[in-house]
Amino acid sequence: GNSVTQMEGPVTLSEEAFLTINCTYTATGYPSLFWYVQYPGEGLQLLLKATKADDKGSNKGFEATYRKETTSFHLEKGSVQVSDSAVYFCALTGSGGYNKLIFGAGTRLAVHP
Amino acid sequence: SAVISQKPSRDICQRGTSLTIQCQVDSQVTMMFWYRQQPGQSLTLIATANQGSEATYESGFVIDKFPISRPNLTFSTLTVSNMSPEDSSIYLCSVDDTGGLAEAFFGQGTRLTVV
């Protein structure tokens, strides 16, 4: 079945540093890929998505490119802020379509001033 | 998009008791999903709830422990039965986007602590 392997955290960065959180996947077919963010004490929010190979999802300065050849969907941001401190989850659609999501383990990001 | 309201937002319960979590959506949706997020871990799908039929449970989850109701297209409940401390988790309700955007929306979650 489909699965997601996500970079383990926690990741600790200084403000304005460059961020990369690695995500690789195994899947049959052509899943959609997502990054969700969970801020402290809150639910999950969709950060960005990509539905086909070579698509780039972007939002709030974050980007991720759907790389079929390397089965990856790494999350990047050029300059992080303290407000980006959260847990980030990589996810993909299961074999049942986009209504069943398979999540990575999550990566906690802490950004310090 | 969809706005999802979950109740309660948090609760502390005694072992052996049951808690019912409610999920209300502001639009009609075909399927609703219940996830569990154990402390420090990722989300795991518990079951899929269709209106008018029994929920479909994922491996490792059973109806006797997590009965689900889906009385209409905007509402669902998840009950955590005969609770033990191992059931302490965040439980999240989710729905598909109905506008073809291929994304899921989540409620704020219910933080359950069993003592």
What integer pLDDT is reported at residue B30 of this predicted model? 85
Region A20-38 average pLDDT: 92
B41–A89 CB contact, under 8 Å:
no
How many angstroms away from the CA of B108 is the closest CA of chain A?
4
With 60 as the cut, is the pLDDT of residue A74 above it? yes
Please tell me which of the candidates A43, A49, A100 has its beta carbon nearest to residue B109. Answer: A43
Picking from A99, A102, A107 by the largest number of B CB atoms within 10 A of its own CB, the best residue to mutate is: A99
What integer pLDDT is reported at residue A96 of this predicted model? 58
Q: How confident is the model at residue A40 (pLDDT cuts 50, 70, 90)?
A: confident
B105–A46 CB contact, under 8 Å:
yes
Q: How confident is the model at residue A81 (pLDDT cuts 50, 70, 90)?
A: very high
Q: Chain A residues with CB inside 8 Å of B41's CB?
A: 105-106
Picking from A36, A101, A108 by the largest number of B CB atoms within 10 A of its own CB, the best residue to mutate is: A101
A98–B102 CB contact, under 8 Å:
yes
What integer pLDDT is reported at residue B102 of this predicted model? 62
Beta strands in chain A (DSSP E): 3-6, 11-14, 19-21, 23-26, 33-38, 44-50, 56-59, 62-65, 75-77, 86-94, 97-103, 107-112
With 90 as the cut, is the pLDDT of residue A43 above it? no
Q: Find residue B92's DSSP bridge partners.
A: B35
What integer pLDDT is reported at residue A31 of this predicted model? 87
Which residue ranges of chain B lie beneath pLDDT 50?
Answer: none
pLDDT tens, residue by residue, B23-54 = 999 999 888 999 999 988 889 999 999 888 88
A48 or A8, higher pLDDT: A48
User: Buried (b) or exposed (e) across B62-94, using 16+ Cβ within 10 A?
Assistant: eeebbbbebeebbebbbebbebeeebbbbbbbb
How many angstroms away from the CA of B10 is the closest CA of chain A?
11
With 90 as the cut, is the pLDDT of residue A22 above it? yes
What integer pLDDT is reported at residue A41 of this predicted model? 78
Q: Nearest chain B residue to A51 by CA: give it.
A: B102
Q: Nearest chain B residue to A43 by CA: give it.
A: B108
What integer pLDDT is reported at residue B48 of this predicted model? 92
Picking from B5, B9, B37 by the largest number of A CB atoms within 10 A of its own CB, the best residue to mutate is: B37
Beta strands in B1-115 (DSSP E): 4-7, 10-13, 19-25, 31-37, 43-50, 56-57, 68-72, 75-80, 89-96, 104-106, 110-114
